[in-house]
Amino acid sequence: FDDGINHGYVTSGSDAKRYRQQLVEKSARDTQNLVQRELKSLGLSYDADAERELREFLAMMDDPKPKAPDTDAGLQRRPKL
């Protein structure tokens, strides 16, 4: 396939994860292109906020671990004696 995705035998968990991410990214790009074409056919303009949201989603896919809140924010630790 000439779609920018490395198709083939997946040999490890990290390869499988990357392959899934590539499929999600391709699906997101395809969906974005479809929406842009449909909006254009309706005479509507493309929304820049949608582009930003898509970029945030793709960035989240690159780093899917949620960030833990900083529970020590504003607290001072006592010095060790």
State pTM to two decimals.
0.45
* pLDDT value, residue 61: 77
Higher-scoring residue by pLDDT: 15, 81 = 15
Q: Where are the domains of the chain?
A: 13-44
Average pLDDT over every residue of 23-33: 89
pLDDT confidence bin for 52, thresholds 50/70/90: confident
The answer, yes or no, to whether residue 56 has pLDDT greater than 70, is: yes
**Which residue carries 């820049």 as its tokens?**
48
Print burial letters for 36-67: b (CB count within 10 Å at least 16), e (below 16): beeeeeeeeeeeeeeeeebeeeeeeeeeeeee
The more confidently predicted of residues 7 and 29 is 29
Cα separation of 6 and 16, whole Å? 11
Check residue 8 and give its pLDDT. Answer: 62
Integer Cα distance of 53 and 57 in angstroms: 6
